[in-house]
Structure formats: C-alpha cells, structure tokens
Amino acid sequence: MTITKEKIKELYADKQYQTYFDVGLFFVLIFSFHLLYLIWEGPMDYWPIKGTIDELFVWASKLLFNQGNWVLEHIFGMDFFTKGQTIIFENYHDGYSAVTVAPECTSLKQWLHWLFLMLIFPGPWKHKAWYIPLGLVIVEFTNVVRVVGIALFLRPFPDSFALAHDVIFKIMFYVVIFLMWMIWNDNFHHSKARHFDRSEA
C-alpha cells in the first residue's frame, strides 16, 4: 500500500489516530533537538555565540544556587553551609554530603528544548505568546526542585548521588515538559476541533 500525503492527512483527521501522530511528532522533535544540541555543544562549541552562552551558564548557575539555598533554608529549615557554589550538609549517617551547582546544572538545555518544541509544534500563536514564557518559568522551577530534591535525597541515601542526579530528577525534567506539552495539545492545538464536536453533540 502506497502512503501518500493525502492518506496521512486523512489518517490524522481521524481522532482514533490523531494522538499517535501528535505523540510521535513530540518525540521526533525532542530527539531531533537533543541531537542538534549535542552537535552544537560538542564539535561546534556553541558557535557563533560561545561567549554569550558561557556567560548565560554562569549567570543561570548563580541564580539556581541562590534559589536552591533559599528553598532549603526557608521551606525545609535545613542546616547547611556553602563553599563556592557547593551546598554542604550533614546526612543521616553522621557524615557530610554535598551538592555542587555547576554551570552545567542550569536549565539552558531544557529551556531550548521547550522553545524548539513549542515554536515548531502546531497551535495558535496568540496562546504561544504567553504559554512559551510560562513554560520557561516552570522549567526553571523544576530545576530548583531538582537541586533541592537531590540534597534532600542525599541525607538518607548519601551514596546515591548518581541515582538521584542521573535518573530520578533527570527523568522528572522531561516528564514535566511532556505534561506541559499534553496540556498544550489538548487545550490549544485541538481546542477548536473539540469545541466544534461538543457543539455538534
């Protein structure tokens, strides 16, 4: 069977297949950007704006470090001290654990992920104008939760930094982005069609 552009449009118009197309496009865009970012970060070394990117990394890491400190101190009442941009605290095993907020810990990659996804994914621009900035704020908030969460996780599990940093809270980032995209897809991308269906019912 030959798959034509018309056939794809016909399948996409069928609500039975619409979700599969949308989720497929989401993952294509996410993985495409991931590969592009790896090339830009690696061989291209952030050309042609490396200086600006380096400054942004430093600024954002200081912001994240201060935000994390505030939450740990004022919301969780945690005792800690800092050295540079490292948060040092006593764990529950009579030792000390530490979380360093390096420039690489910032939300820059996730900010760009969100921008790339939302600028390309279909939907009304009048809503993108406020939903994209809102998403950037939520991504930054998620990163604060990540830093705080790692610190709290290391208190009872001081030898589990890799699990917390590389698995639990990294996955959380992309779950949040996926959930924000789902809200967009259901309430803005397809909102007119679904409103029409309800009116017809």
Q: Model confidence over 119-171: pLDDT tens digits?
A: 999 899 999 999 999 999 999 999 999 999 999 999 999 999 999 999 999 89
Q: How far apart are CA 80 and CA 138, in angstroms?
A: 26
The tokens for 164 are 């917390």
Q: Measure CA of the first residue to CA of the last residue in the chain; give whole Å.
A: 35
The Cβ-side half-sphere exposure at 168, using a 13 Å CA radius, reads 16
Q: For 189-201, give one letter per residue: b (16+ CB within 10 A) or e.
A: bbeeeeeeeeeee
Contact 65, 85 (CB under 8 A): yes
What value, to the nearest 5°, has the Cα angle with vertex 146 and ends 91 and 49? 125
The CA distances from residue 11 to 18, 26, 197, in Å, are 7, 17, 18
As a whole number, mean pLDDT of residues 6-32 equals: 78
The token pair that represents 137 in the structure block = 């704020």
User: What backbone phi and psi angles, to 5 degrees, belong to 157?
Assistant: -125, 70
Residue 33: CB atoms within 10 Å: 19
Q: What is the pLDDT of residue 18?
A: 81
Q: Please state the rounded mean pLDDT for residues 3-25.
A: 71
Domain boundaries, the chain: 13-193
How is residue 121 written in tokens? 């994914």
pLDDT band at 189 (very low <50, low <70, confident <90, very high): confident
**In this predicted structure, what is the pLDDT of residue 192?**
55
| CB contact at 8 A, 76 and 88 | no
Maximum separation of any 2 CA atoms in the chain, in Å: 67
